Structure 1
Amino acid sequence: MLAKRALSIAGGLAVLGWPFAVWLALTYPELHILLPILALCFVLRLCALRGKTGALSRAFKGLALAGAVLCIASIWMREAQLLLWYPVVVNAVMLTLFGSSLFSRMTIVERLARWREGELPPEGVRYTRKVTQIWCFFFLFNGSVSLFTCLAGNIHWWTLWNGMVSYLLMGLLFACEWLVRQRVRRRYE
């Protein structure tokens, strides 16, 4: 259990530290040693997710694999610029996951809400569908800006957006959604 927790923490650190590690590796070529360490962190994340099922787990496994592949390809091809594409991949996968759930019986946000809350009233189901749509717009916008920062080739813009601004926007979206959810709950209780 402790080993699985350590694997999960290492993988989480790889995801959160990715923009800064990439910035360091691209800005200071002598720090390319970070690439095998990042690849190892993603492999550990993949190991930590082994045995977990569900769409979200499959998406996280795919992202861990993509991170490892980008690191290994960067080492093999001696082209660290490949690392810049990970946030674009993350947003594309999340947009696909959330967007495809809009065409299924239950959206991903509804599944998460039912996991936590149990049964949902019809108003709750409609609300989770709207939240899923908002997240789709977020992933589309965030992925587009991440793509722009990759194509612009400015490592400082890339790091600023993918290492700080996108996390702040995501946190703001979580906080706003939580506040709105409390109001919606009170209205229907």
Structure 2
Amino acid sequence: MNAVFKGIAVIGLILYPFFVGYGLAKGHYAWVSVLLIALGMMRMFSKGNALLWPLTGFAILCGGLSLILKDHAWLKLYPVCMNVGALIIFSMTLIKPPSMIERFARLAEPDLPPEGVHWTRQVTKVWCGFFAVNALIALWTVYFAPMKIWVLYNGFISYVLMGILLLGEYLLRKRQQRLHQAQK
């Protein structure tokens, strides 16, 4: 059942910008606020990785503030908070290793060589930069862009950019590994 809750929460949070766009277009931000709180609670009770708890807290906080203050801007600020939260999480792993990308890399390659550890640390820094820039763009869309642009950026473009960064890092890491093996 835990996996079902996790899956529903992940899918709901990925589709979140579209829910907000639809809800605000119809003038029904309250149900989106409740949905965001519910998704956060589902994630919290599914006992996922403790590193992700700040992201869960942001979901509940933004949804709650939207309801309490009757202000839909908090719903649009959630992607900003997600990026800031991811930036904090990734940055903390640079202070207290292993870095986030090293953790991911070790899932596929448990015996990561020292060069790989260095590589993944540098990539974690790139991700930190990405999250910082993405948070600023998301914030700009909240206050200066029409709703369609907010939905397009936060519900599609930012995911495409993350996918490009993820794929690019993977391809470069494999290239780096081949070059390192050829030097041995």
Farther-moved stretch of structure 1 (70-79 vs 179-188): 70-79
Paired with 1:102 and 1:31, the residues of 2 have a C-alpha distance of 38
What letter corresponds to residue 157 of structure 1 in structure 2?
Answer: I
- 1:65 corresponds in structure 2 to 57
Q: Which stretches in structure 1 are left out of the alignment for 5+ residues?
A: none
Matches within 5 A, 1:86-101: 86-101=78-93
Q: How does 1:12-161 map to 2 (within 5 A)?
A: 12-30=10-28, 32-48=30-46, 50=47, 52=48, 57-152=49-144, 154-161=146-153
**Whole-Å separation in 2 of the counterparts to 1:134 and 1:163:** 22
Question: Once the 2 structures are TM-superposed, how far is the Cα of residue 42 of structure 1 from its aligned partner?
Answer: 1.9
What is the distance in 2 between the residues matched to 1:100 and 1:76? 31
Using the size of structure 2 for normalisation, the TM-score is 0.89
Local SS of the residue matching 1:29: coil
Native 8 Å contact 1:25 1:80 kept in 2: no
Encode CA deviations 1:33-62: one digit per residue, 9 max, x unaligned: 3332332122111111x2x4xxxx234222
Contact 1:59 1:93 survives alignment (8 Å): no
Percent sequence identity over matched residues?
29
1:37 to 1:105, Cα distance in 2 relative to 1, 3 A: closer
- RMSD between aligned alpha carbons? 1.7
1:17 Cα deviation after fit: 1.2
